[in-house]
Structure 1
Amino acid sequence: MLLEVCHRNNPDVYWIAEITMVCGHVLRIKFIGAESDFWCDISNTKVHPLGWCGKYDELIEPPDAINEKYGDKIIDIMKNALMDGQSVSIEALNNKGLSPIDRIKVGMKVEVQNLIDPYRYWIATVCENVGGRLLVRYDGCDEDLQQLWIFFSNPRLSSFGYVTNKGSPWQFKYPGKVNKFSCKNKLSAQLRQSAEEAIKEPTPPDLFVPNQSLEAHNFVTGMKLEALCPQDMRTVRPATVSKVFNNFHFLVALDDHADDYEDANAAWLCDSMHPYIYPIGWAQRHGLAFKSPKAWKEGPFDWDEYLSATSSVPAPDYCFGTKQPLKGIEVNMKLEAVNPQNHEEIHVARVDCVAEHMVCVELLPLGEKYWFAQRSDLLLPAGWCDANNYALHIPDVSAAKQQPVEEVKLIKDDIKNSEEWCDRIYFNYKCYAGPSISRNKLSQLPKHVGPGPLTLVLKEVLNKIISASYKPAKLLKDWETEGPPEEGMRLEMLRAKLKSSTYHAYVPIATRRAQVPAFCRAACVRLQACPALFGTHHYSRPRAACPHACHQVDKATFHNGTERRGRPKGSVNGKKKKKKGAHEKRDKEQPSQEREKEPGECSPRPVRAVRKRASPDSDTETSSTSRDKRISDVSDAEEPELKKLRGARDAPRPFERDLALELKLSRNPLDWSVDDVYAYLSSTDDCKPVAERMKREEIDGEAFVMLDLPVIRDFLHMKKEFALQLSKHIAIVRWYTHNFEQNCGS
């Protein structure tokens, strides 16, 4: 993506740059025509979307080095870049690169529009944010109102304060069957309480913006039409325009519930492009199930006769707008869909048929079919639940057992003759799990996986074992195989999740049913666990049935000596090391103080990690002990079982001015290269292990001083305690940068 960035040495002149990497509010960008890129903090640098300079008459020209290299050719280079590239949105720059989904926080207040009245709203609190799908709870509600699942882009949502800013006729009205806030005093008290709670987690006013592109409708009260039943989402029924609110909104109610549509959930709040209302005869033309009203006599339904009997007129076709037919969706495609009868459930689904802008979806575990609009927020792409760590209802492959006896026998015969079929794989969670697997997570896994296709069953088993490990990414890396697999094996891609990141690796799995027991046993041995931890046999009473008697033998029997046993690094083992005397520490540290000098050093003293001066509130021995730790390749986010971090603090301690004066540098850190940053960190006691990683990320001096604790934690995936130590060095170097001339002069 492209944006306009001010010159590094002249902030009043701009040039077009391309984004090569995003780390929160810190971007890696490259000027068009330049060969090298650099880091840019958009929170304190002049950056704008394309076209901003032309709009505000600002000077835009290439830097001198690019101008000298290309001359007049730079214009053609710029045109090609603009044709191929896309501008960054102003919202992304204003929000420091965060998407709307990432900006929504639990505890934020929103205002939810009523289902049947565009002017009635009520305040709700965000309880969960699952990939933009929000679980909200109405403020002040008891058991009369359930929590509501709604997608963040749904037009019913508005930011807190929307109704107050709009004024009459917009109003707050409790959506329950009994308006418990009909008294003005109670309503004022509830609104005041919600406003006080909103201060704790304020909602950005631009986060939920109502739909501003509505077209004026031509519907009139009393017009007849067809509408999808909101109660079942399966049948189309006769309906009537019962109320017109304004030029954009009107209410359509099913004829069977003309008097009780609010209680029966039998009405749609519509605009001219609403997807669930149709002209008369539409259902018959497209093969949708049509249900006659209760007042209709027996026999086939006839619209002309019904209109005559009710003295009504049909809504003209032009009132319904032009809806685009489906593109790219075909029958038998797979997706994930929300159950319209229970929005907490998301199911594996299959496209059953298509009609213009509507799609009929079958929820496979239930076998139920429902109609949805193409752009419905109840339809999700395949893999959405997995990517957002939400429970997905999957079809039971063992349902074939419920077929008639003859069919079952034929199916079983086919299975027995197939090498591609796998029986159940059981998790024997009472067996010894080894040093890498969390027993707590293991016990939460299902009792078995399968039966089913061999590849799918084995992949699911390995994925569940990875999810139950302390370090999923590390375990996946250990299982990864480079090069061709062994004979009888096949490479399959497995995934390990870490926060919002997903790691992929190709792992060899068995290809024949006869190999499954040996494959499972070998995988357990590699985990240094009991060989019967998972496999084709179920040991319901492991103390009596486990063939390896893992509850009796020494656990060292299963260890291969390649990994450290016991709890993962960083966990608390209950024992505290005895502190050494200060004189013993000094004697021990003396030989290690002779090391190479930092590249920008101007003092003969070696650069060491800055320590707090001795004071009643500081302990030099304790701070030096915490620096003896090393940063692991896998972050603590991959060790969710660890409840504490030894020596971890929530924020770095404020350093004093005289601490940074111990650092003597001959060059301004802003001029450091990637190698200079690497050399500086390598010369410290506590951040030496992270030096190589910073070099791989191409962190130079300017980027180094831009880093902060959230960026280090979220994008470099460091443990909290080591991120704090690195943040301390960054703060010191940043202070030194601002006072460079004074420090060098002294």
Structure 2
Amino acid sequence: MDAKKFINKGRKSISLHSQLIQRPLALSPTATFSFIMMNKTPSDSYTWDKLLAQNENVYGAPVSCFRHLPLSDGWEQITEGLKLEIINIDCDASLQGYWIASIIKVTGYFALLRYEGYQDDNSNDFWINLANPDVHEVGWSSTNQCQLIPPKNIQHKFEDWKNFLVETLVGAKTLPSNFHDKLMRCLESRFRPGMRLEALDKNDISAMRPCIINKVVGQRLHLIYLEPGKELSNTESIASNGASKPPNSLHASLNDHAEVEGFWCHQSSPLIHPVGWSALVGHKVTADKDYIEKSKELAIQGRYSSDYAPYDLFTRPTRTLPPNSKFEMGMKLEALDPVNLSSICVATIRKVLERGYVMISIDGAPENVQNVFCYHSTSPYIFPLGFCKTHGIELTQPRDYTSSHNVIPNATSAKRFDWDEYLDATKSHSIPDIGDYKEDNLSSQHPTLAVGMKLEAVDLMEPHLMCVATVTREAGRLLKIHFDGWDRAYDQWVDRSSSDLFAPGWCELAGYRLEPSPTASITPESPHRESFEIEGKKRIKRNSNSIPNHKRSNKLRKSKQ
């Protein structure tokens, strides 16, 4: 929106409060304002305030990098110099005045603002989440009969503030009047509480399990597993304690039982599918025979009632393999280990399902580790032989692998993995050439995530946790994500278009809890510390929402002390 439309209303539309206040309030350098967000964020949620205010070099990922986030398509228009109206805390609180501010810098959903009149003085710049309901377009105060009051610290600088504003706003741009409405609409999910679907069984990652949506927060779904024998029960009979409940009390009943185990994921997650998907593709499902038969019939007919999430709500694979690229049981490949997301391993196709899905296992994994997982054949997490070598990534070889090669001088047990030798020894073949997966959901006109950027990321081993993170490495479409304040052993490889990555400020926007970081200082210059002081505390494990015991080979989720 062009701010001159506001100016053209005439100077009378600029309602200025002329009262001069004594005892001016001095703000701290690069202060942060605590406002009440439209979606209430948990009080113990981590805030970006100190990190943004104290570190000028923080490189927050732009919202435009994340196509699944609100207003990502147009966020590049939120640029330096954009004018806003923002509540003025440097005035008498009883006046509830506003003032014009300019954007100095944008990082994620946050903007560094400077009140007009400070000119080149940055001593009172402040950060704010642009989703805050106290951020408005220029002209909002006039429309809503609110006063524009210059900050007390600079009231003496100009005698005619009306004329100053008119001159300042000539040719300036501001937010559209429906900015917040669009932002909130973009947060709405296509799913709703009470819908049924199938999701990964966190207690057996080789299986799916019937679920019901308990709640939706900013397009993230909290799912509750349905007990065997109750998967197709009428809505009124499903409750956390098994008792009969009227339909309108189901959601409240589930919410009231925080101890009920559940599973978090984004609505675009590849880990969720419509009811009957498992039976259609031949995937194992943790359910009784009656469910398997009836759910398949429902899926074939496509006649879902309103209690079932229909097919068109789910994100489907869009990429196609090159012609004649057929996957077969026993073929070898390189794949991301689903229970150790910092590791890409030698893997084998154990079963070929319908519709392009395959079951994959990690070669040489310990027997007590869950080791079979479903990937689509076009998944960005499976790779042709040599992917790791091409990108300089250490390929995790089978534990029992032995080689005739020893390429490290003076090493007693050094082993170099050789794919040709391994294929001969196992009498197996590699997967066909699946091409270089360069397709991206991001337009070439959009920025992409890069090394050094900070963001909010889901800890995929405990997917209810959202943490401050840094991109530390790129490998094709893959990004290495480091959780700030935690050991590198917990890093995870994630596709750059993953719906588990978010711009700084998303949690505050959606009202989702952002995990507090360790007490150690988080700086852009040192994302790879080996250990951090955490006041003797270990990272809290919430196994009720994580893959059982994390199953990370010899890696417990705890900090070095």
Q: TM-score range by the shorter chain?
A: 0.3 to 0.5
Higher RCO, Cα 8 Å, sep 6+: 2
TM-score (norm 1): 0.34
Of Structure 1 and Structure 2, the greater helix share is in 1
TM-score (norm 2): 0.44
Give the structure with higher Rg (CA).
Answer: 1
